[in-house]
Amino acid sequence: MTKSAKLTIGEKVIDLPIHSPTLGPDVLDIRKLYAEADVFTYDPGFTSTAACESTITYIDGDKGELLYRGYPIEQLAERSHYLEVCYLLLYGELPNAAQAADFEYRITRHTMLHEQIHYFFRGFRRDSHPMATMVGVVGAMSAFYHDSLDINDPWQREVAAIRMIAKLPTIAAMAYKYSIGQPFNYPQNHLDYAGNFLHMCFAVPAESYTVNPVLAKAMDRIMMLHADHEQNASTSTVRLAGSSGANPFACIAAGIACLWGPAHGGANQACLEMLREIGTVDRIPEYIRRAKDKDDPFRLMGFGHRVYKNFDPRAKVMKESADDVLGLLGIENNPTLQVAKELERIALEDEYFVSKKLYPNVDFYSGIILDAMGFPTSMFTPIFAISRTVGWISQWKEMIGDPTQKIGRPRQLYKGEKTRDYVDLRHR
């Protein structure tokens, strides 16, 4: 029996269907509201709005749960690896051995870029932020890969997805190398996905480079934790761009641009810079005070979340990884990690953070690990972008493949001027 809600507006009573999900809250279907009642709903920031139907990722913000195709992130982080998670997000099921081998083969053999794209980097200043370079180069991929632009061809959609997942690490590593004036490294097919990325970032022609398996495993785990996250700002950007029929490379470039913001994917860079600015444990109270001061725009970066009103499950796994990696690197007394742990302890006991349900999010500890690996803070969000590309492209494929899909076109609450006549300059 279909559930519904009755909405009374003046003399009108509108029947609105209610849809029940597999997990999470029911949704009120308002698609016919404007046609029948001549009113819009109003929800800036979409805090109460389901923009689409999806089967990919589920978050329970109160329980601190994150599922990729039903599998808890904790189990995947412990037992899976990034390319297997990519397969799961893209195709909906964990691969068997043959499927996993084929997928890894296809990704590995798409990691190189069209050689001419190397020249594209030369147009940037050396001190360009790697995110600026990535937005440019990923968007420019639509100028090089004409055989995977037709969004109506399922095969071309598949090729575009493989190319994006395979090439983002290469592009991010090139952006990094370019920013430090070192030569690009080509991908190495004998290395796994995370190890290949570390090699492309840190190898130099002057000496041989051996991937540290502990760092490669930590990088792979970071990538798994960031792979997808429901309809977050950058994923919604990719969906909205895709809804106009834009090619997949342009859509992912739009997602990268949105992720860059410090309220979103840029928070990992902002968080580590904040921890460094705090510097020592004794300065934490000053920053806690500023974070609570309504007149001070300062916020604790890496804290709070639109959905999680409990611990971000990714932050828990990341915190364990931070202890592992820094311990193995012999820097467990890293002052930044000490400040982070003390800041977390103090904040979680503070009434302001408790009452507003502000907990550490995925960005709170990730920067500490990446810093320990030798990455500059400017590379933190590019690494988030590499990881999230599979989520973006999976959500994009789901939307494009939906026969009911239409162009996204929100309306507004207009508070501007009523119609008025033009006044010639001589009368103004």
Instruction: Sort strands 57-60 and 65-68 into parallel, antiparallel or unpaired.
Output: antiparallel
What is the distance between the alpha carbons of residues 316 and 312, in angstroms, rounded to a whole number? Answer: 7
Cα 80 versus chain centre, distance? 20
| Distance of closest approach, residue 420 Cβ to ligand SDX, in angstroms | 36
Joined together, the tokens standing for residue 279 give 């510097």
**Does 229 participate in binding ligand SDX (rule CB under 6 A)?**
yes
Of 162, 222, 300, 393, the residue at the interface with ligand SDX (CB under 6 A) is 300
What is the distance between the alpha carbons of residues 301 and 268, in angstroms, rounded to a whole number? Answer: 8
**Does 81 participate in binding ligand SDX (rule CB under 6 A)?**
no
Nearer to ligand SDX, 64 or 265 (CB): 265
Q: How far is CA 54 from CA 51, 67, 231, 399, 405, in A?
A: 10, 13, 9, 8, 12
Which of 344, 381, 391, 173 has its CA nearest to residue 268? 381
Site string for ligand SDX, 345-374 (x = CB under 6 A): -----------x-x--xxx-----------
- 43 is a catalytic site residue: no
Nearer to ligand SDX, 160 or 362 (CB): 362
Residue nearest to ligand SDX (CB): 304
What is the distance between the alpha carbons of residues 251 and 151, in angstroms, rounded to a whole number? Answer: 11
* Residue 365 CA neighbour count, 13 Å, CB half: 30
| Distance of closest approach, residue 203 Cβ to ligand SDX, in angstroms | 30
| Contacts to ligand SDX from residues 232-291, by CB under 6 A | 232, 263-265, 267, 291
| Contacts to ligand SDX from residues 301-320, by CB under 6 A | 301-307
Candidate list 363, 371, 402, 424, residue with the active-site label: 363
Nearer to ligand SDX, 307 or 369 (CB): 307
Query: Cβ contacts of residue 29 below 8 Å, gap of 6+?
Result: 16, 17, 18, 19
Nearer to ligand SDX, 192 or 363 (CB): 363
**Does 195 participate in binding ligand SDX (rule CB under 6 A)?**
no
3-state secondary structure of 28: strand
Candidate list 305, 323, 371, 427, residue with the active-site label: 305
Joined together, the tokens standing for residue 209 give 């480079």
**Does 63 participate in binding ligand SDX (rule CB under 6 A)?**
no
Nearer to ligand SDX, 202 or 392 (CB): 392
| Distance of closest approach, residue 276 Cβ to ligand SDX, in angstroms | 16
Nearer to ligand SDX, 80 or 108 (CB): 80
Query: Cβ contacts of residue 112 below 8 Å, gap of 6+?
Result: 167, 170, 186, 187
Which of 84, 89, 118 has its CA nearest to residue 104? 84
Tokens 């930044």: give the residue. 336
Nearer to ligand SDX, 195 or 302 (CB): 302
At residue 5, φ and ψ (nearest 5 deg) are -125, 145
**Does 299 participate in binding ligand SDX (rule CB under 6 A)?**
yes
Joined together, the tokens standing for residue 325 give 């990696």
Count of residues engaged in binding ligand SDX, rule: CB under 6 A: 21
What is the distance between the alpha carbons of residues 89 and 83, in angstroms, rounded to a whole number? Answer: 10
| Distance of closest approach, residue 267 Cβ to ligand SDX, in angstroms | 3
- Do residues 305 and 397 make contact, with C-beta atoms less than 8 angstroms apart? no
Nearer to ligand SDX, 83 or 301 (CB): 301
| Distance of closest approach, residue 232 Cβ to ligand SDX, in angstroms | 3
| Run of H or E residues at 243 | helix 233-243
| Distance of closest approach, residue 119 Cβ to ligand SDX, in angstroms | 33
Interface stretch with ligand SDX, choices 154-162, 244-252, 296-304, 406-414 (CB under 6 A): 296-304
- 363 is a catalytic site residue: yes
Joined together, the tokens standing for residue 175 give 């952006």
Site string for ligand SDX, 13-52 (x = CB under 6 A): ----------------------------------------
| Residues forming the active site | 305, 363
- Which positions lie near ligand SDX, rule CB under 6 A? 229, 232, 263-265, 267, 291, 299-307, 356, 358, 361-363
